[in-house]
Amino acid sequence: MAFLDQPFSWKSATGNEAAMLDGLQPNIIKAHTRERLSILFLTFSNRAGAQKFLRSLAVPVGGKAWVKSAKKHLQEVAAFKQSGTPGSSYVGVGLTMSGYDALAIPAARRPGDASFQNGMKNANLNDPPATTWDPEFQGRLDCVVLIGDATLTPKNAALKAVRTLIASSPGVKEIGRQHGKGQRNANEDGIEHFGYVDGRSQPLFLHEDIDAEVLSTDGATTWNPAFAPNRVVVSDPAGPNPATDFGSYFIYRKLEQNVKQFKKGETALAKRLGIKDEKRAGAMVVGRFQDGSPLTTQFNEGNHNPVPNDFNYNSDPSGGKCPHFAHIRKVNPRGSGGFEAEADERMHIMARRGQTYGTRVDGLNDGKTANKPTKDVGLLFMTFNADIAQQFEFAQSVWANNPGFPAHSSPPGLDLVIGQMPNDSPRPDVSGPLKWGDANTKSVSALPRAVTMKGGEYFFMP
């Protein structure tokens, strides 16, 4: 659709743009606040019961529909900024290919993405065997429901209401549940369990968000955050009007983090490279210091208000500042990958909506390694795609899992955060600078894996 080729303003949207926002689920084109999150995984054994449940989520009953529109969400965000009025809870729903089977949706009305149809178990991502995944992902999974809010009380109320709808719908069964809770540092930036600012660089699809990036952050003159909406939404063939009915492919992966292993790895990497500052060694793994300061722009932390994002790697072609194996350089090379032109690299960028899970009893950034968790905490990796193979699967397999990416005379090695080797074989060496800005690099043994994929699936959010 031509109107999806460029960002647009939701406030002045008319025609197909306005119609799309009226029918699109929230959280796709703009992130929804979900500091408190519950995710339900369901199976369907009764078509009529499944239809009843899905209809009860989307069709107003007594003046309320649980799944609101993207437009209503945007209106609520604007009202909150103007008057502090809190918005309603977020409820999102997605179906797997087996969910479409259970609903007996004709083939012509199903999403056509081949990766979606094949499912995550059949993706070539070097994932652990599905027999090791959490139980809800090992067998049949038909539907996901996300329930989120800024605070616990309204989230729990929405969760209770959705579970009541499940209980009253024949053949709809909850087979798994996951809770998430946002983690924040002292600067109130969102972080993950290794302690690093997370989710700062996002593709933006609306002029209002692009303008805010320019005016309220470090700008957008070097890195352009504006992306066409056709990188996140696609026509929904099950809708009555293909010109205005849209959805998105939703990827979910539960990534368990061994925090103690990661922190020990930071120390080991510093010793191997002869770096006295372990904070910089950690930043070499991630690409940013814990406060979000980009390693390619400075050799120490302390630039977090706001967290910078207007940078590229043009001044760092050799990886002497930010190594080529750094996570954020691997999964967003910003024109420095050497495989493709920057315009083609941008086709692989995704709208990420991740959330942390698990309870911490240690001090998150207390500097102590011995008390750090080894399991039961991690990241609920969630992202919306228009093309799973071109976006998520490409970024995971061709970028993160590829020891030869970005292209360089010294193979950089895997992404040391999310990169995976076939059958969990030993990781190849990585090449890192001995000091910041030094074009001469040293090949050293890589950090052991500290992130384990515990299961996931591909969904379509209609």
Q: How far apart are CA 121 and CA 157, in angstroms?
A: 34
Q: Is residue 344 flagged as an active site residue?
A: no
Cβ contact 143:41 at 8 Å: yes
Strand blocks (E) in 309-450: 351-352, 355-357, 378-385, 430-433, 441-444
Please tell me which residue in 113, 189, 198, 211 is annotated as part of the active site. 211
Taking the chain, what is the end-to-end CA distance rounded to the nearest angstrom? 17
Spell out the residues 6+ positions from residue 424 whose beta carbon is closer than 8 angstroms to its own. Answer: 128, 449
Residue 182: both structure tokens together: 């946002």
C-alpha dist (Å) from residue 448 to 141, 418, 421: 32, 11, 11
Q: How far apart are CA 380 and CA 356, in angstroms?
A: 6
Residue entry with tokens 């063939």 = 237
Rg (CA), the chain: 22
Report the 10 Å Cβ neighbour count for 136: 22
Spell out the residues 6+ positions from residue 343 whose beta carbon is closer than 8 angstroms to its own. Answer: none
AA identity, residue 379? L
Cα torsion 154, 145, 14, 3: sign: positive
Cβ contact 439:243 at 8 Å: no
- Residue (of 461, 410, 447) closest to 265 by Cα position: 447
Residue entry with tokens 């977020």 = 90
Judged by phi (left if over 0) then psi (alpha if -120 to 50, else beta), residue 62 lies in left
H/E element, 209: helix 207-216
Coil, helix or strand for 34? coil
Cβ contact 348:332 at 8 Å: no
Residue 432: both structure tokens together: 């890192």
Catalytic residues: 211
